A and B are shown apart, each in its own frame.
Chain A
């Protein structure tokens, strides 16, 4: 067959460049929020195999993982300057586009027979590839395979990137979704664990960056004008013009990045709303219905659980803590038939006491395995009987971010909004114990939420009230939680 460079292949190549560059930069932004990589599920401090930070945490006082965040330049990260929420929006928005474009590309490859340009169908390609490598090392250009557009090394390289590296990145990225991990724990174990997936995803990023560097270098070696003409005109023609168009397109790509980065930093809310509308829609369909089915063995429990968020620094809380939270009341109200109030003792002596050993996924990327004991939230919901119009639960906490987290980018009472459907998940828990002991203050005493299909920040700590509402748009900034309001995180965070 005549391979050539059909128009759809050229368009896909261009689209791929745009998506890939956004994915790389936004991926670095996400990495920067917990700039450490591990080969163990516990993210044990000091056990990282790589770190991308110059910060050293103090030994003599409590620090939390927000203190570990790095602020990278916009040159390397999207949008840069410690903006995890916005980086996540860009990463997930572009990955949706990248995967869709990739699916169309692969479908067209197979429908048109063009797959033969990338997929080897004879073992002879390997000795031929060896010969090609020898020729490259001799500073000579190997000939293309008979009737094909590439030489053996090119064919193997492109085939590996399209059919191995790209799926590898998708799989290792998906394995970092708490919803997928919770529903299919075997999938994450297959990759070696959650932190293995994160580390492998990073190595995949390096492989892509390495491939792009070598690819561009080889295009130059093979003849920049001739090679780029194939991707512009579909054949080797007008090398000077194609060189000019390629350089202009490269400049255009840089301009696109500069404009989107500046817009994102200047208008974070509209970026959050715009990109979030797409991302949330996909998550609602793919991730929200997944329920947790985790049960780790006791010996898998992490020796140490990192701290995220600082406890309430208020007299009423300290006095309550000094009395083992004897005066604590959990108020449950809003759009319910029977508003109720529970003491900690009421919750501890609840007819159902549920214990679960699960993987905790922080939005920043670190994980640990813990055992949590408490009351299944669905039982509280059954008691208070939400009205038909109730769609969300608002978890109001005793933490005041302005008071308790002076370095936080925002102030006011910490709260998180959770769709009511999550209350019916079997492992959604109001936890009062951790690892067989009363819940420690630093992890949310006296009561915290466990929502195993979501990332950690949704699991409100130091809870004082649960409010059932029909709409959350008038609460705070209306984005669905304190972090959504103040640092532009996304609301339903199954990944």
Chain B
């Protein structure tokens, strides 16, 4: 296995991420906030339909939407990256919930089981995936987000 990995060059390819450092704090924070806002908007839009299915789901969607808005504001504001952490937690929760509702079904949302042909749901997965990728970039130091900044001299 080790030999196979060496021949394919896969470890070098994966390790290449350690050579990448981005220094666009405002753009990174803006992208994170925009994704969190999109996340909030999608869940707000979905709130009435889910409230109809079950008030508990409606409340959860309200919490997700509100949390998304808090993360939107928190990303550029926080000294610690709590906005990113909140956003990542919400995205993980929403992503897991969506996949579970389509794959195995969830109480009160049985009608959604197997309904993968839902464009807004796919869009939400893309938004959540991109946010989690951004969070990974910020956590690993590959990118920095405002108000953090690089202190490079050369």
Contact = CB atoms under 8 A, between A and B. Distances in A.
The reply to whether chain A is a binding partner of chain B is yes
Interface of A: 35, 45-46, 48-54, 56-57, 59, 68, 70, 72-73, 75-76, 134, 137-140
B153 A46 contact: yes
A469 to B, nearest CB: 39
A54 B22 CA distance: 12
A70 B18 CA distance: 13
A52 B142 CA distance: 10
Interface in B89-136: 116-120, 122-123
Given A46-B153, A59-B153, A138-B117, A73 B12 contact: yes
B153 A75 contact: no
The 7 closest A-B pairs by CB, nearest first: A45-B154, A137-B119, A75-B9, A137-B122, A138-B117, A46-B152, A57-B154
Nearest to B118: A138
Contacts of A72: 16, 19
A50 B22 contact: yes
Interface string B1-24: 000000001001100101111111
A72 B154 CA distance: 19
A52 B19 CA distance: 5
A49 B119 CA distance: 35
A134 B119 contact: yes
Contact of B119 (A50, A68, A75, A138): A138
B19 A53 contact: yes
B122 A76 contact: no
B13 A45 contact: no
Contacts of B123: 137
A52 B13 CA distance: 14
A139 B122 contact: yes
26 contacts: A45-B152, A45-B154, A46-B150, A46-B152, A46-B154, A50-B20, A50-B24, A51-B20, A52-B19, A53-B19, A54-B18, A57-B153, A59-B153, A68-B154, A72-B16, A72-B19, A73-B9, A73-B16, A75-B9, A76-B16, A134-B119, A137-B120, A137-B123, A138-B119, A138-B122, A140-B117
A127 to B, nearest CB: 15
Nearest to A63: B154
Interface residues of B, number: 22
A47 B117 CA distance: 46
A140 B116 CA distance: 10
Nearest to B15: A73
Contacts of A56: 154
Contacts of A68: 154
B29 to A, nearest CB: 14
Contacts of B120: 137
Nearest to B126: A137
B16 to A, nearest CB: 6
Given A137-B119, A138-B119, A139-B116, A35 B12 contact: no
Nearest to A28: B16
Contacts of A138: 116-119, 122
Contact of B23 (A48, A53, A75): A48
Contact of B117 (A35, A46, A50, A139): A139
A305 to B, nearest CB: 13
A288 B45 CA distance: 62
Interface in B16-70: 16, 18-24
Nearest to B154: A45
Given A138-B119, A138-B122, A76 B13 contact: yes
B119 A35 contact: no
A140 B117 CA distance: 8
Nearest to B119: A137
Nearest to A140: B117
Nearest to B153: A46
A75 B117 contact: no
B14 to A, nearest CB: 10
Contacts of A50: 20-24
Given A76-B13, A137-B123, A49 B118 contact: no
A107 B119 CA distance: 39
A406 B76 CA distance: 47
Contact of A48 (B18, B116, B152): B152
Contacts of B9: 73, 75
A151 to B, nearest CB: 16
Contacts of B152: 45-46, 48, 51
A52 B153 contact: no
Given A45-B152, A54-B18, 6 more contacts: A52-B20, A57-B154, A73-B12, A75-B13, A138-B117, A138-B119
Nearest to A133: B119
Nearest to B18: A54
A61 to B, nearest CB: 13
B7 to A, nearest CB: 11
Nearest to B120: A137
Contacts of A59: 153
Nearest to B115: A138
Contacts of A53: 19
Nearest to B122: A137
Contacts of B24: 49-50
A53 B23 CA distance: 13
Contacts of A35: 19
B123 to A, nearest CB: 6
Nearest to A80: B12
Nearest to A75: B9
